[in-house]
Chains A and B, each alone.
Chain A
């Protein structure tokens, strides 16, 4: 569904998994939007005005009204373009609660442990973060089994809320796997998620906007050099 010029704009940065969430949601709904790439190291006037509380990307501007926080943007896109594409959140209140819960868990437990691997200063600290990350993925594997009901995604036949929440981190997960010399999405530990990860990255709504691992590696090296 084409939007009038300027009707839908997304302020973001290409490396950000949170921005990726918003982009996947918009793509799933076939929404045309203008991507306003922030300059690294600087925050634009528009960003500061649109998200004065956090001053962070992503910010969705729809008819110039800002929506902030990645999963809030995803839920907004799902509701505002309810008639387009497939539903991102299921209709049933209990299933919605499950999707919302796991999205909270992903940001609360999975992301810090994954990030912890990258930040770790000692082998010990790294090993601890790796254990935590694997433990979190084990729980997510069980959640996948329950939510997918034998289908391809957490959302069932199509990409859903939890897919977006977790899938957005896959680019950085690959970088961390390479830098740390280990597998996070391990076929032996979490077979369903290992397959799901490839499937998510290959999806039409994702593959154009998921940053390439090499580019992210370069970006990570640049950050470390800073």
Chain B
């Protein structure tokens, strides 16, 4: 069902992977939308209105209503605009996709964030944690539920590709900024190949900011953290 283009608006932040997830999904669905940039530190009145519980980006506004939490938004988009589905039809395949989305945000992303916000022994432990998590995904791609697929979604990018892919670019960024090895192509050949293929897709290239901008951004945040001006890793989003 088509909606008039002006009825979709996204409140987001340019360096936020959860915002990128929603932007990518909207692009893959061929949907036009208005974008409003939000400042992490100073949420606009609109953001406070539309996400009163968490006060974070992204927030999708559609037909006068707001939807928040990136994975919730992605499913809303898929269920509202049903062409070019990003979820499989089969319930047990859907459950597998949802499981690995949960794993991404519950285990992998926090471990990656910890690499960025820690130093010394703590950072080493965080790096190990990232490797452990990537090993699980590598195994699933090589021999498990996603064996033989180009993307997690099959021949085309699906919801799990979007969730994992929008965030995995931080691995390369943190490798450079923190001088650690996170996504060694020898240790994780299949995952590495998937990520490269994902990042080559036109819609993905249009969504993810240039690596230079991300590097500069990450360096800036890391500097502030080390100098004690902020205590946590770059503010996380919903």
Contact = CB atoms under 8 A, between A and B. Distances in A.
Nearest to A63: B92
A75 B72 CA distance: 13
25 contacts: A53-B99, A53-B103, A53-B136, A62-B92, A65-B92, A67-B92, A67-B99, A68-B99, A69-B98, A69-B102, A72-B99, A75-B98, A76-B91, A76-B92, A76-B95, A80-B92, A94-B62, A94-B65, A94-B76, A94-B80, A96-B76, A97-B75, A100-B72, A101-B68, A105-B53
Nearest to B140: A53
A104 interface: yes
Interface in A62-120: 62, 65, 67-69, 72-73, 75-76, 79-80, 93-94, 96-97, 100-101, 104-105
A45 to B, nearest CB: 19
A96 B55 CA distance: 21
Contact of B102 (A72, A97, A101): A72
A73 B68 CA distance: 22
A65 B136 CA distance: 18
Nearest to B92: A65
Interface residues of B, number: 21
A139 interface: yes
B109 interface: no
Chain A contact residues: over half helix, strand or loop, or mixed? Answer: helix
Interface of B: 53, 62, 65, 67-69, 72-73, 75-76, 79-80, 91-92, 94-95, 98-99, 102-103, 136
Contacts of B92: 62, 65, 67, 76, 80
Contacts of A94: 62, 65, 67, 76, 80
**Interface range for A:** 20 to 34
Contacts, number: 55
Contacts of B79: 93, 96
Contacts of A101: 67-69, 72
Contacts of A68: 99
Interface of A: 53, 62, 65, 67-69, 72-73, 75-76, 79-80, 93-94, 96-97, 100-101, 104-105, 139
Contact of B95 (A53, A72, A93, A100): A72
A97 B53 CA distance: 15
A72 B103 CA distance: 12
A100 B80 CA distance: 15
Contacts of A67: 92, 95, 99
A101 B79 CA distance: 15
A68 B98 CA distance: 10
A194 B53 CA distance: 22
Contacts of B69: 100-101, 104
B97 to A, nearest CB: 9
Contacts of B136: 53
B2 to A, nearest CB: 15
B100 to A, nearest CB: 9
A160 B79 CA distance: 18
B76 A93 contact: yes
Nearest to B80: A93
